[in-house]
């Protein structure tokens, strides 16, 4: 979701080379799974990269703190909303990779990897 990051350039691709799904925290939500299933089955996608980045707002505050900030900016109570804060980016990435690999409509032929992008160095590190 972070507009400072150009995902195609990050991995050395050009427009048209990849389908890009962006959301807060780079998480594999139910809607992302739907998009991945459609990409794999209808568009013949055979590689999925799950990438989070350093200095991410979703990984730098508690759920309560982020709710307070959102509520203050919106001018209304946001304490009821689940925002999906990330406590441990590496664990979240590993969990999301496992979720994609385990999905019954995403075949074993699809390569799935998890990575952390360092916004300061430009390095993309694999998360095992």
- Given this model, what pLDDT does residue 128 score? 76
What's the mean per-residue pLDDT of the chain?
95
Average pLDDT for 14-19: 93
For 61-108, the pLDDT digits (tens) are 999 999 999 999 999 999 999 999 999 999 999 999 999 999 999 999
pLDDT exceeds cutoff 90 at 17:
yes
- Report how far residue 46's alpha carbon sits from residue 25's, in angstroms, rounded to the nearest whole number: 23
Helices (H), 1-128: 7-10, 30-42, 63-74, 89-102
Average pLDDT for 15-40: 95
* Residue 127 structure tokens: 């998360």
- Concatenate the DSSP letters of all residues of 75-112 into one string: TS--TT------S-HHHHHHHHHHHHHH-TTS-TTSEE
- Given this model, what pLDDT does residue 2 score? 86
- Report how far residue 115's alpha carbon sits from residue 117's, in angstroms, rounded to the nearest whole number: 6
């Amino acid at each position: 979701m972070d507009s400072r990051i150009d995902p195609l350039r990050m991995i050395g691709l050009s427009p048209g080379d990849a389908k890009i799904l962006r959301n807060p925290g780079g998480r594999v939500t139910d809607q992302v799974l739907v998009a991945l299933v459609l990409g794999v089955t209808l568009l013949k996608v055979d590689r999925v990269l799950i990438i989070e980045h350093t200095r991410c707002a979703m990984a730098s505050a508690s759920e309560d703190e982020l709710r307070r900030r959102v509520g203050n900016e919106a001018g209304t109570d946001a304490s009821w909303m689940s925002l999906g804060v990330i406590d441990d980016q590496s664990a979240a990435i590993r969990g999301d990779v496992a979720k994609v690999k385990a999905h019954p409509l995403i075949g074993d032929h699809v390569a799935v990897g998890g990575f952390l992008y360092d916004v300061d160095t430009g390095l993309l590190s694999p998360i095992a």
